[in-house]
A and B are shown apart, each in its own frame.
Chain A
Amino acid sequence: MAAVETPKNPPTGLAEFWFYFSRNKGAVIGLVVFVVILFLAVFAGVVAPHDPAIQDRAVLLLPPAFSEGGQASYLLGTDAVGRDILSRLIYGARFSLFIGVIVVTLSVISGVLVGLIAGYFRGRVDTVIMRVMDIILAFPSLLLALVLVAVLGPGLVNAMIAISLVNLPHFVRLTRAAVMTERAKDYVIASKVAGAGTLRLMFLTILPNCLAPLIVQATLAFSAAILDAAALGFLGMGAQPPTPEWGTMLAEAREFIQRAWWVVTFPGLAILITVLAINLMGDGLRDALDPKLKRS
């Protein structure tokens, strides 16, 4: 994805990318953790020890296996209605990663398109687009998402739409700035003189050269989307119970905060680990893709 096609002489773009990425140890750790979470999410049906929805009255609020009174088959304990927390977390990874992918896809595609138009055409179109982005940025993102979900109705899909919308301005601004810098460069002018049409100039000549900061921003947006969706779930406006979404699980666990620490601790830990892994990768991507920071 990040590789820019270069002649066959070494190093290739991908090799160069990997060289810089792998020098950042944190990024490699983040990548490994992320791949593990991805694996768990994809194979949740095989990996999870229990059905995430099955309630067992015999094991209500069972502590984790490693603490007093725990059972080995419920590694991280059970929640207030006797569901296995570990299994719910594993299934929950599906939701969080899915949310991240959808939100990033939606906001990247629309944000890049709008930013490209603003940066390429400038003038009135640009002014109008940027004012609209200013309006979105005038609201705290979580508040805007919360209100949008209130209008659209609580639920995972609407939460994703709302989070995509509040993420949009970042991509628009970033693309616009990059396009404006690239547009004035000689290679673009040369391409124009050679007779390239507007669409070709926009998408094939300019856009590929603007991708580096966008990829880094996309990683950040991925982790931010997971956090925001969990926050909405926590406030009761995201995924609805009994969906094993991590934020929703935390909301359900809140009332047991004084007697069953594990119900509260593990879902949050899952969010933190996932977001941290993605942010670590984001730092590595920035090192590898941002030429300004490359030190030979």
Chain B
Amino acid sequence: MFRFIFGRLAVLIPTFIGVSIIAFSFIRLLPGDPVMLMSGERVMSPERHTELMHQLGLDRPMYVQYFDYLTGLLQGDFGSSIVTKRPVLEDFVNLFPATLELSLCAIIVAVALGIPAGVLAAVKRGTWFDQSIMGVALIGYSMPIFWWGLLLIIFFSGYLGWTPVSGRISLMYFFPQVTGFMLIDSLISGQAGAFKSALTYLILPTTVLATIPLAVIARQTRSAMLEVLSEDYVRTARAKGMPPFRVIGIHALRNALIPVITTIGLQVGVLLAGAILTETIFSWPGIGKWMVDSVFKRDYAVVQGGLMLIAAVIMLVNLVVDVLYGLVNPRIRH
């Protein structure tokens, strides 16, 4: 097992270096140079320009600059914002819990609804129930989620007035960040109504972000389940008179879940990509909106650092999924 984990880690190193090269070269591929980007509209004398280039070490050879950048990364220095001057890592740490909370809620909803829906569709294969579940799943899978979010806002926030349009919690409530998770923090604060407020702010973004993973998980569960249901051991279990619920819930489902777990792991990238759109629509203060805003503000130092941090998160999650998968399915380890 340790060999397996170690092997996976070894593969991550070249990927990490590659990702850092992309993040490093990104800012240098932009038209103009970082100093000109920083100065923005202001006019700068050539002397001042050269001086700043020297100060920032931008006049040294590329490989020296890259090596410095990599050393900085390993010491936790992801650069500082051109606009706010705050360290990128600090902003990331502050904003990441919001994205994490939203993503976790979305994946919980997707798993809690997707797996039962997929199992039921497989068991009732070919019936109207199966067809309608799979029809809805395909619509979900084809959904432009940025439009879906707008529709939900029009209906639930505009027409019915049930949910707020943007943000994480009503401005009426103020309490210190403990975990960064609004749902938990609002409970800790003990303020009446705070939790409910946080929940109403969370419902629509969660629905939007969960849509595609939910559809993918339902489809994957159904096809994995169909495959397993035609296996001999399921027939044997049925033949010996085991109640259908046990056959499906215990014998079949456990084996069908193996590919589903992989699918769930693969949704991390989908969730983070979805977070970019979802957070933009609902003004959710997470890293997706942060990245989009930084691209528009031309705060390329934040984009560079953010790219690196987000890629690192995805690589780590993939590693954990791989290891978990190895634990569940011993065949993978060899």
Spell out A's residues near B (CB within 8 Å): 26, 131-132, 134-135, 137-143, 146-147, 150-151, 223, 227, 230-231, 234-237, 247, 250, 254, 257-258, 261, 264-265, 267-269, 271-272, 275-276, 279-280, 283
The reply to whether A267 and B138 form a contact with Cβ atoms under 8 Å apart is no
Partner of A280, one of B11, B138, B148, B274: B138
Question: In the complex, what distance in Å separates the CA atom of A231 from the CA atom of B139?
Answer: 17
Can you list 16 A-B pairs, Cβ within 8 angstroms, ordered by A? A26-B138, A131-B11, A131-B15, A134-B15, A137-B269, A138-B18, A138-B19, A140-B270, A143-B272, A143-B307, A146-B276, A146-B291, A250-B146, A268-B148, A271-B144, A272-B139
Partner of B277, one of A147, A231, A261: A231
The reply to whether A139 and B314 form a contact with Cβ atoms under 8 Å apart is yes
Partner of A230, one of B26, B144, B280: B144
The reply to whether A279 and B138 form a contact with Cβ atoms under 8 Å apart is yes
Contact with A along B44-55 (1 / 0, CB 8 A): 000000000000
Interface residues of B in 126-164 (CB under 8 A from A): 135, 138-139, 141-144, 146-148, 150-151, 153-154, 158
Known contacts A151-B26, A250-B146, A254-B150; is-contact A279 B295 (Cβ 8 Å): no
The reply to whether B139 and A140 form a contact with Cβ atoms under 8 Å apart is no
Question: In the complex, what distance in Å separates the CA atom of A231 from the CA atom of B280?
Answer: 11
Interface residues of B in 251-299 (CB under 8 A from A): 269-270, 272-274, 276-277, 280, 291-292, 295-296
Confirm or deny: B321 has a beta carbon within 8 angstroms of a beta carbon on chain A.
no
Question: In the complex, what distance in Å separates the CA atom of A35 from the CA atom of B257?
Answer: 38
Max chain B CB contacts within 10 Å: which of A135, A138, A150, A254?
Answer: A138
Confirm or deny: B315 has a beta carbon within 8 angstroms of a beta carbon on chain A.
yes
Known contacts A254-B150, A257-B158; is-contact A235 B138 (Cβ 8 Å): no
Confirm or deny: B303 has a beta carbon within 8 angstroms of a beta carbon on chain A.
yes
Residue of B nearest to A234 (CB): B146
Query: Min CB distance, B299 to chain A, in Å?
Result: 11
The reply to whether B280 and A235 form a contact with Cβ atoms under 8 Å apart is yes
Question: In the complex, what distance in Å separates the CA atom of A146 from the CA atom of B26?
Answer: 12
Known contacts A147-B303, A258-B158, A261-B154; is-contact A140 B310 (Cβ 8 Å): yes
Confirm or deny: B112 has a beta carbon within 8 angstroms of a beta carbon on chain A.
no
Partner of A271, one of B15, B147, B296, B314: B147
Chain B interface size, as a band, is 35 or more
Question: In the complex, what distance in Å separates the CA atom of A237 from the CA atom of B280?
Answer: 14
Query: Min CB distance, B45 to chain A, in Å?
Result: 28
Confirm or deny: B250 has a beta carbon within 8 angstroms of a beta carbon on chain A.
no
Given pairs A135-B22, A283-B138, 12 additional interface contacts (CB within 8 A): A26-B138, A135-B18, A139-B310, A142-B273, A146-B276, A223-B142, A227-B144, A231-B146, A235-B292, A257-B154, A272-B147, A275-B142
Confirm or deny: B30 has a beta carbon within 8 angstroms of a beta carbon on chain A.
yes
The reply to whether B150 and A138 form a contact with Cβ atoms under 8 Å apart is no
Question: In the complex, what distance in Å separates the CA atom of A231 from the CA atom of B276?
Answer: 10
Question: In the complex, what distance in Å separates the CA atom of A291 from the CA atom of B225?
Answer: 19
Query: Min CB distance, B22 to chain A, in Å?
Result: 7
The reply to whether A140 and B272 form a contact with Cβ atoms under 8 Å apart is yes
Confirm or deny: B330 has a beta carbon within 8 angstroms of a beta carbon on chain A.
no
Known contacts A146-B292, A250-B150; is-contact A151 B30 (Cβ 8 Å): yes
Pick the 10 closest A-B CB pairs, nearest first.
A268-B147, A135-B18, A140-B273, A142-B273, A275-B142, A276-B142, A140-B272, A138-B311, A271-B144, A134-B15
Partner of B307, one of A139, A237, A279: A139
Confirm or deny: B29 has a beta carbon within 8 angstroms of a beta carbon on chain A.
yes
Known contacts A272-B142, A272-B144; is-contact A257 B276 (Cβ 8 Å): no
The reply to whether B26 and A147 form a contact with Cβ atoms under 8 Å apart is yes
